[in-house]
């Protein structure tokens, strides 16, 4: 009887030890770091980062309109003339393209400079203005 009791206790002890080790492994996995910091000039055992893709040139006016301008100029937000509405654009077009482009680049009334696209080069903004005017005449 003592042998059976000793065998049962030994079996329970081994099972408890295995279960504890399994729980500890799970905890270690959950709190493991998700990344490392590698400073420039240090060899961190990683391959070099791929070079940034170079731009294929300025986007078309239609692309810039779709990405930036359409948010306001497709619905008329804050008084923005809706693209395609010749009546809404007539007074703006009468000011001349140079003025329209200047307003688009530097901001005018409720429209922020470059329509809020600080990373857009001036030629892309100009292309977008030309696209919108072309669609609204």
Span 88-97, pLDDT tens digits: 999 999 999 9
Please list the residues that pair with 111 across neighbouring strands.
Answer: 108
Please check whether residue 90 lies inside any domain of the structure. Answer: yes
Please check whether residue 12 lies inside any domain of the structure. Answer: no
Please check whether residue 89 lies inside any domain of the structure. Answer: yes
Domain that holds residue 118: 61-135
Instruction: Please tell me the total count of domains within the chain.
Output: 1
- CATH number at 99 reads 1.10.760.10
Q: Which residue has the higher pLDDT, 125 or 3?
A: 125
Please check whether residue 53 lies inside any domain of the structure. Answer: no
Please check whether residue 106 lies inside any domain of the structure. Answer: yes
Query: How much is the pLDDT for 47?
Result: 55
pLDDT of 128 strictly over 90: yes
- Tell me the CA distances in angstroms from 37 to 46, 72, 117, 127, one per residue in order: 11, 41, 31, 42
Residue found by looking up tokens 């770091």 in the block: 33
Please check whether residue 22 lies inside any domain of the structure. Answer: no
pLDDT band at 30 (very low <50, low <70, confident <90, very high): confident
Query: How much is the pLDDT for 28?
Result: 87
Name the pTM for this structure.
Answer: 0.61
> What average pLDDT is seen over the chain?
84
Cβ-based neighbour number of residue 131 at 10 Å: 19
Please check whether residue 116 lies inside any domain of the structure. Answer: yes
Distance CA(98)–CA(110), nearest Å, equals 19
């Amino acid at each position: 009887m003592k042998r059976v009791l000793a065998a049962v206790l030994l079996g329970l002890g081994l099972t408890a030890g295995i279960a504890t080790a399994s729980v500890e492994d799970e905890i270690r996995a959950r709190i493991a770091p998700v990344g490392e910091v590698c400073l420039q000039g240090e060899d961190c055992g990683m391959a070099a980062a791929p070079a940034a893709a170079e731009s294929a040139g300025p986007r078309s006016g239609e692309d810039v309109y779709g990405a930036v301008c359409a948010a306001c100029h497709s619905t008329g937000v804050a008084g923005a003339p809706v693209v395609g509405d010749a009546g809404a654009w007539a007074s703006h077009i009468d000011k001349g393209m140079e003025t329209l482009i200047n307003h688009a680049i530097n901001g005018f009334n409720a429209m922020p400079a470059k329509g809020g696209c600080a990373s857009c080069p001036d030629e892309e903004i100009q292309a977008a203005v030309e696209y919108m005017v072309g669609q609204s005449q």
